[in-house]
Amino acid sequence: MPIDVEAARKLPFDPIKVAVERGRLRFFAKAIGETDPVYTEVEAARQAGHPDLLVPPTFFFSLELESPEPFGYLAALGVDLRRVLHGEQSFTYHRMAHAGDSLTLEPRITEAFSKKGGALEFLVKQTDISRHGELIAEARSVVVVRNPEVPQ
């Protein structure tokens, strides 16, 4: 079933509020193989001029998984999750974030389009990440939906 592009662009998302905790940062740094101690040792982070552990570069993507239904927007658009592929993700960083920060994530669909006569549909979601109203980063992700029943 084709994605309703206008419905996708108008789909409301609730802001996600998260507290950045040291333990989660350490775990994430270990999981991605990060060895720089500014991500795992408070003293090393402070010696490098940070107030606390630094947030690893791709950590923001995992924060969206904090919402009760992180992929609920796909279900709301009638997307069969068995046909979803991770297409791409990218980040634009404006400021550093650290353990102890309270962040607000505000996701929205910015684009929806199809290729190959509708056999592939693309949803582009951007999430603005802020701390007390100050933009910290922008996370962009692309989800690809396969529609094998569409004749090519």
pLDDT in tens, the chain (152 residues): 578 888 888 999 999 999 999 999 999 999 999 999 999 999 999 999 999 999 998 999 989 887 888 899 999 999 999 999 999 999 999 999 999 999 999 999 999 998 888 889 999 999 999 999 999 999 999 999 998 777 76
Q: With 0.75 as the threshold, say if the pTM is over it.
A: yes
Closest alpha carbon to 101 in 51, 140, 137, 62: 51
What pLDDT was estimated at residue 1? Answer: 59
- The answer to whether 110 and 139 are in contact (CB under 8 A) is no
| The pLDDT of residue 68 | 83
Tell me what pLDDT residue 137 has.
Answer: 97
Q: Determine whether 25 is exposed, middle or buried from the number of CB atoms within 10 Å of its CB (0-12, 13-18, 19+).
A: buried
3-state SS assignment for residue 57 = coil
Question: What per-residue confidence (pLDDT) applies to 69?
Answer: 87
Say what the pLDDT of residue 24 is: 94
Confidence at residue 152, expressed as pLDDT on a 0 to 100 scale = 64
Q: What local confidence, expressed as pLDDT, does residue 148 receive?
A: 78
pLDDT for the residue 136: 97
